[in-house]
Chain A
Amino acid sequence: MKLIKFILKYKKTFFLLTIAMLIVSCVEEIPLESEGFEEAIVIEGSITNELKQHEIKLSRVYAIDSIGPSALSGADIRVIGNSEFIFQESEPGVYVSRDSFAAQPGVNYQLQISANGEEYESTPMQLPGSSSIGVLQANRIDYGGENGVAITLNNQSTNESANYYRYEYVETFKFNSNYFKVNDLILVDGEPVEVPKQKEEYTCYQTNKSQEIILSNTNSLSEDSVNDLLIKFIPSDSPSLSNRYSLLVKQYVISREAYTYYEILEELSGLDNVFTQSQPGFLAGNILNISNPEEKVIGYFDISSVSTKRIYFDYEDFYDPESIRPRFVPYASCEASLPSTATLIAQLEQDIVRWSTTTPSGAFMVVPTRCVDCTRFGSNVKPEFWED
């Protein structure tokens, strides 16, 4: 039931209310157990209208209770378009085109792979129309019973062949440690010694790539443009909002077939409600083994046109600058303590405390490292693009 899925789509938690609650129905997480295993090849590849060396990744399916991924090396990859583009393995499982190129409209592109002695081929694909992101907006709203900042997207009216969109984003935010400290304690010959801080530990940056599948189509809308599409919702208590936040949104205009593929992939991997479950099964993409069409090949080869846009905003834009800002570590866990020397030495050896103050008597008060050292949660290197 797609509409229910649609409704459930953006919920962090979903709850089937009501009598069911009175009735004690429950959904609990269970361990993943391996119930047999089947080999399959996974192909991740997208050629865009950006002039660059495009990348195609090959991997294998791995057992459900193991940690992957397992890269597939030694394959021969080429994309046949107006000419043939050869891909070379740059690192295990990652293949990069030898030359830079951009997908051109009106040209059929076909992916050809030979790996493990098998030949795989995609159906020929064409570049759909292009459309650029108009506005990214951040607003403070209540959403699904939670308060936070929503980043929404509007794109400009598009040409007719651009109806299906997929989005990826990269979020980067600047944040601070709970406390700003100027000194550190180090062990010199087994004794704690107070020294000035050696590295930046107060201001850091964290970068995360989107993991969800964000799709939009303008078919069911009265206007042929994307309006107020929710890209990201950040709850008010998230430390990512505490200083300055940036979101880079990448819009892919994709084919209808690719859209359907992602939509079903999302549905099959999304939440079900307690009472109904979508029939799961193998989702076929557009890549086939030529000699054995029965083989399960995972992945979709798509040609898309890309447009990107970045947005910045500060904590003060939406919240009272005087309010207590959300941190990775709650302040309650950041109380300073006065350990005995032996304890202090042990804690310093394990790197779990940092200098807080020195008492008039010369004893060291300490706080947990997490409260002072932001590199525990991010990088202290300012990203190149960052604008303050």
Chain B
Amino acid sequence: MRKYLLLFLLLCFPFTYAQTADPEISISFENKELPDIFAEIEAKTDYQFFFDEDWFGLTKFSGEYSQTKVTEVLEDLLEETNINYFVKGQRIILTRGSIIYDRLPEGFLETREETAVAEEENQSADPVFYNDNEEQAEIVETVLIGKENIQSSRSTYKLSGRVISEKGEPISGLNILIPNQNKGTVTDINGNYEIRLPKGINIFETQALGIDKVKKRLVVYNDGVLNLQLKESFEELGEVLVEANARDNVRNALTGVERIDVAEIKNIPLVLGERDILKVATTLPGISTAGEGASGYNVRGGKTDQNLILLDEGVIYNPAHFFGIFSGLNPFTTGDISIYKGSIPAEYGGRLSSVFDLNTKTGNKEEFTGEVSIGPVTGNLSLEIPIVEDKSSLIVGGRGTYSDWILNLLEDESLEGSQASFYDVVAKYNHKFDNSDELNVSGYYSSDVFSITSDSLFSYTNRMFSLSYNKYFNEKHQGELVLTNSNYDFNLDYASDFNNDFESGYTINESEVKLKMKYFHNKAHTFNYGISGKYYMVSPGEINPGSPESLIEQVSIPEERALETAIYFEDNFEVTEKLLINAGLRYSFYTAFGSAQLNTYEEGLPRNDNTATGIENYDSGEVIETYGGPEVRVSGRYFITPTFSTKVSYNNTYQYIHTLSNNTTAAPTDTYKLSDSFIKPQRANQFGLGFFKNFDENIYELSLEGYYKTSDNLLDYKIGADLFLNENIETEVLQGEGEAYGVEFLVRKNKGRLNGYLGYTYSRSFIKLAGDFQEETVNNGEFFPTNFDKPHDFSAVLNYKLTQRFSFSANFVYQTGRPVTYPIGKYNFNNSEYVLYSDRNQFRIPDYYRLDLSFNVEGNHKIEKFAHSFWNISVYNVLGRNNPYSVFFVTDSGEVKAYQSSIFSIPIPTITYNFRF
């Protein structure tokens, strides 16, 4: 109470209301902003105005007054604003929201209990005071709603507003929560919302699945409006979103979460001008690839098959084009991406290392808009089409290469008939039934076709379909039902001159049903719970004769089927203001089904064709093997100071699906294998600890995170393993232990002319393959570095704005070279030289570094202009560093030769042009 009093006294000088004689003035103004009008009044009278210019928007006023009292003019002018005024002598003091009281409110000096009663009755128009100290406890932007009115004695006021996206499209279905009241609402199709709030301080949060939280402290004085613009706009950076993210960093209970605002990445220089969401992700600590041309991502020392990559909830198995040079996800239709590399929410499962959660934007429901991008390799088009105004919309994005066309232009005989092309399309339909129900339907398809040699053709496709139905039951309870289907296949066709033409292929298909529920129990507890079931169907490979003359025998490896089910419950528990705990438990259960024929092997001997003792038959639907177990997902945040938090987490995860690859880096020809009686599920435990600090009103964000991870049953393979079209994969597979640890440091500057981030990671990743037999042991059964173990990894992404229209960006990467197995000797065998290799991964290729620069030009900002254009001129690998990607040894004409391959060894300049309409 004393604090209140102090505050009150500070505010309340011995004021009196309109004490002095009110002079009359004559004034006229047209389309002027308030500060200018006040200046005019100051010029005509002795009054002096005191205010903060930031309170006023760009609203312009016109008016003509003759011989009118100044106070009347002010009443008129301020009527539509939340500004109050107070006249003190020659001074006119403007205040926002609060009236400067000239007397104590009723009950002010009464005891606390009585005040509480008074509040409950809500009869009196108690003035609103807020506690400055409390304000500091958690730095949240405070917004004043409405102008305080002395006469008002209502207990609740109406807060309304509209939430729009960067392009001015309404964001519908956004949950707006008032945790302190256990209240909430949802924006309607037009992005409008309305909620009744009690007078005083209310916490306002927005939340939607896959959309970042925005949190504000509202001080409600009266009915008022709070409009929000989320995401980036061309006129100004979407600061609301950026700031919200910034605070999330410190606030959230989860460790190891990275969020990328897709709209922000356009300035970052990238290979051949292809805007690439996942490539940007690799500049963040803890996420890397084995090299420039490698597909797949290694997250915190995990293998490339340990990432769950979701687009609108559906799995994308191979989100890469042309091996791994480009990512297959459309940057123009993707709204945002969250990457969970530390704490993985209980909702997700099935992969050990991370979840990449990507969401497609919702199309504009009011007007037809589009975006076109033209680069040297691909052309992009995305369209947002309103179907039923304010109810439903469609967003469609497509991208394709011109390389086939270029190949046709090259008059080289050896290139005749060769192909190289890729494309991807994505579409999302959104339908809003009323304020509580919403339907989203998404589809994705990508295709790559290229010739490896002139007589072979390799192609692969990803296909994904997802349907989600959101239901808002009441202010406390909401749910989402998701159906997805994903498919990945590749084909390898060969046409030769010698009757051995063939066509071969692989397919994996999964279908999932998932029910996700959210329950806002009270201010302290929010529950997430749900259940999911996923059905896998894998055609591990087949080969067919490519022509009637071909003597290749048709072979088809029997299909594998399995069901992965899970149930989860998670409580986001705010124990105290400082301590937030997110505790989740997931139980996953896996069943591999027949029909199948599995070999049996002699006990105590290595599994190979010679130790096979027989065949066990499983009928269709018969259970072959089951696995399962609890997965604990716990993390907690504690505020050391309001802008400095520490977090700890523990996770364990199961993975029932594995890639088969005997390459050192991931390739599109890697196949996925389901766990069976021989191949056990991979398991991992991860401990995380992090410190998060924001400076200067969240302009700077600093984080330091450490992790320690152990894994079991990681898959590896015997040297030279033949994995495709092999009926007895178990004879080629090794399973071993993994160990990984690291420290990740990230500093971001979110605002200002110079913005960007620096990240540094020190991490190690090891694997141990110590089977019971010599042939199942690698490096004498000791831990050795994995193929993607790169201890030092430094990235800097910086952007400097010269003016609103011109900016420079730079991107620098340094990484320790990845481990390789190098020859340590040569020998002669059958008239030829061959090499003897070292223990696995004993050596490293030279360190990798690269600098990219780009210059960006925004078109001008005239609203009337038909299209808004954006130019990006960039040079990739400015230093021309010939970064080796791999080193390999070939016996050619009886002699050993060493070769080094590199992907982008010289500076590559590109220009891309982009416009939206």
Known: A211-B893, A275-B294. A3 touches B504 (CB 8 A): yes
Residues of A within 8 A of B455 (CB): 7, 144
Which of B403, B830, B842, B905 is A24 in contact with, Cβ under 8 Å? B905
Q: Is the CB of B497 within 8 A of A25?
A: no
Q: Is the CB of A61 within 8 A of B826?
A: yes
Residues of B within 8 A of A168 (CB): 830
Beta-carbon nearest neighbor of A222 in chain B: B553
**Could you tell me the distance in whole angstroms from the C-beta of A12 to the nearest C-beta in chain B?**
10
Contact with B along A224-243 (1 / 0, CB 8 A): 00011110000000000000
Which of B497, B543, B720, B842 is A278 in contact with, Cβ under 8 Å? B720
Is B494 engaged at the interface, CB distance under 8 Å to the other chain? yes
Known: A19-B325, A64-B826. A29 touches B774 (CB 8 A): no
**Could you tell me the distance in whole angstroms from the C-beta of B171 to the nearest C-beta in chain A?**
38
Within 8 A of B (CB), among A33-51: 33-40, 42, 44
Q: Is the CB of B828 within 8 A of A269?
A: no
Pair count A-B, CB < 8 A: 276
A27 to B787, CA, bound (A): 20
Which of A7, A31, A38, A230 is B836 in contact with, Cβ under 8 Å? A38
Please, could you name 26 A-B residue pairs with CB atoms under 8 Å apart, sorted by A?
A3-B725, A25-B293, A27-B901, A28-B899, A29-B899, A35-B843, A39-B825, A63-B826, A64-B823, A64-B896, A144-B453, A211-B891, A220-B552, A220-B555, A222-B551, A229-B498, A269-B890, A274-B885, A274-B903, A277-B665, A279-B662, A279-B719, A280-B888, A282-B719, A282-B836, A293-B774
A228 to B498, CA, bound (A): 6
Is B116 engaged at the interface, CB distance under 8 Å to the other chain? no
A143 to B495, CA, bound (A): 11
Which residues of A are at the interface with B, using a C-beta cutoff of 8 A?
1-4, 6-8, 11, 14-20, 22-40, 42, 44, 59-64, 66, 68-69, 141-145, 150, 152, 168, 209-213, 220-223, 227-230, 256, 260, 263-265, 267-284, 293-294, 296, 298-299
Q: Is the CB of A227 within 8 A of B551?
A: yes
Beta-carbon nearest neighbor of A62 in chain B: B826
Residues of A within 8 A of B293 (CB): 25, 274-275
**Could you tell me the distance in whole angstroms from the C-beta of A127 to the nearest C-beta in chain B?**
17
Residues of A within 8 A of B891 (CB): 211, 269-270
**Could you tell me the distance in whole angstroms from the C-beta of B420 to the nearest C-beta in chain A?**
3
Q: Is the CB of B886 within 8 A of A277?
A: yes
Contact with A along B420-463 (1 / 0, CB 8 A): 10000000000000000000000000000011111110100000
A268 to B905, CA, bound (A): 26
Known: A1-B724, A24-B905. A278 touches B826 (CB 8 A): no
Q: Which interface class (under 10, 10 to 19, 20 to 34, 35 or more) fits B?
A: 35 or more
Contact with A along B880-913 (1 / 0, CB 8 A): 0000011111110110111111111110100000
Q: Is the CB of B829 within 8 A of A299?
A: yes
Known A-B contacts: A32-B896, A38-B824. Give 6 more (CB < 8 A): A15-B453, A61-B827, A68-B828, A268-B834, A275-B293, A278-B664
Is B717 engaged at the interface, CB distance under 8 Å to the other chain? yes
Is B562 engaged at the interface, CB distance under 8 Å to the other chain? no
Q: Is the CB of B829 within 8 A of A42?
A: yes
Which segment, of B328-336, B406-414, B692-700, B859-867, faces chain A? B406-414
Which of B420, B553, B830 is A19 in contact with, Cβ under 8 Å? B420
A215 to B297, CA, bound (A): 37
Which of A1, A11, A18, A283 is B669 in contact with, Cβ under 8 Å? A1
A18 to B407, CA, bound (A): 7
Residues of A within 8 A of B450 (CB): 17-19
A344 to B609, CA, bound (A): 71
Is B822 engaged at the interface, CB distance under 8 Å to the other chain? yes
Q: Is the CB of B498 within 8 A of A230?
A: yes
Known: A19-B401, A26-B901. A221 touches B830 (CB 8 A): no
Residues of B within 8 A of A299 (CB): 829
Residues of B within 8 A of A141 (CB): 497
Beta-carbon nearest neighbor of B835 in chain A: A64
Known: A23-B903, A279-B662, A279-B664. A284 touches B775 (CB 8 A): yes
A293 to B664, CA, bound (A): 27
Is B131 engaged at the interface, CB distance under 8 Å to the other chain? no
Q: Is the CB of B663 within 8 A of A278?
A: yes
A381 to B600, CA, bound (A): 61
A279 to B839, CA, bound (A): 12
Within 8 A of A (CB), among B650-673: 662-665, 667, 669
Which of B413, B453, B825 is A38 in contact with, Cβ under 8 Å? B825
A17 to B450, CA, bound (A): 8
Is B837 engaged at the interface, CB distance under 8 Å to the other chain? yes
**Could you tell me the distance in whole angstroms from the C-beta of B873 to the nearest C-beta in chain A?**
18
Q: Is the CB of B664 within 8 A of A227?
A: no
Is B821 engaged at the interface, CB distance under 8 Å to the other chain? yes
Contact with A along B470-505 (1 / 0, CB 8 A): 000000000000000000000010100111100010
Is B547 engaged at the interface, CB distance under 8 Å to the other chain? no
Contact with A along B547-567 (1 / 0, CB 8 A): 000011111000000000000
Which of B667, B838, B894 is A276 in contact with, Cβ under 8 Å? B667
**Could you tell me the distance in whole angstroms from the C-beta of A189 to the nearest C-beta in chain B?**
45
Beta-carbon nearest neighbor of A299 in chain B: B829
**Could you tell me the distance in whole angstroms from the C-beta of A19 to the nearest C-beta in chain B?**
5
Q: Is the CB of B836 within 8 A of A40?
A: yes
Q: Is the CB of B900 within 8 A of A27?
A: yes
Residues of A within 8 A of B492 (CB): 3-4, 7
Residues of B within 8 A of A270 (CB): 890-891
Beta-carbon nearest neighbor of A275 in chain B: B323
Which of A2, A38, A263, A282 is B724 in contact with, Cβ under 8 Å? A2
A269 to B662, CA, bound (A): 15
Q: Is the CB of B830 within 8 A of A213?
A: yes
**Could you tell me the distance in whole angstroms from the C-beta of A265 to the nearest C-beta in chain B?**
7
**Could you tell me the distance in whole angstroms from the C-beta of B822 to the nearest C-beta in chain A?**
5
Which of A11, A38, A277 is B663 in contact with, Cβ under 8 Å? A277
**Could you tell me the distance in whole angstroms from the C-beta of A32 to the nearest C-beta in chain B?**
5
Q: Is the CB of A23 within 8 A of B325?
A: yes
Known: A69-B828, A277-B664. A29 touches B897 (CB 8 A): yes
Is B280 engaged at the interface, CB distance under 8 Å to the other chain? no
**Could you tell me the distance in whole angstroms from the C-beta of B789 to the nearest C-beta in chain A?**
14
Residues of B within 8 A of A281 (CB): 719, 778, 821, 837, 840
Known: A4-B492, A29-B897. A64 touches B403 (CB 8 A): no
A269 to B455, CA, bound (A): 22
Q: Is the CB of B552 within 8 A of A221?
A: yes
A311 to B124, CA, bound (A): 113
Identify which of A212, A270, A279 gathers the most chain B CB atoms within 10 Å of its CB.
A279
Is B310 engaged at the interface, CB distance under 8 Å to the other chain? no
Residues of A within 8 A of B906 (CB): 24
A15 to B455, CA, bound (A): 11
**Could you tell me the distance in whole angstroms from the C-beta of B692 to the nearest C-beta in chain A?**
38
Identify which of A11, A40, A64, A222 gathers the most chain B CB atoms within 10 Å of its CB.
A64
Known: A3-B504, A64-B835, A220-B555. A37 touches B824 (CB 8 A): yes
Q: Is the CB of B669 within 8 A of A272?
A: no
Is B832 engaged at the interface, CB distance under 8 Å to the other chain? yes
Is B221 engaged at the interface, CB distance under 8 Å to the other chain? no
Is B262 engaged at the interface, CB distance under 8 Å to the other chain? no
Beta-carbon nearest neighbor of B419 in chain A: A18
Known: A31-B898, A59-B828. A22 touches B778 (CB 8 A): no
Residues of B within 8 A of A7 (CB): 452-453, 455-456, 492, 494
A22 to B452, CA, bound (A): 15
Contact with A along B812-823 (1 / 0, CB 8 A): 000000000111
Residues of A within 8 A of B28 (CB): none
Q: Is the CB of A63 within 8 A of B543?
A: no
Q: Is the CB of B825 within 8 A of A17?
A: no
A68 to B720, CA, bound (A): 26
Identify which of A168, A230, A281, A296 gathers the most chain B CB atoms within 10 Å of its CB.
A281
Which of A30, A142, A263, A272 is B898 in contact with, Cβ under 8 Å? A30
Is B94 engaged at the interface, CB distance under 8 Å to the other chain? no
A276 to B725, CA, bound (A): 19
Is B397 engaged at the interface, CB distance under 8 Å to the other chain? no
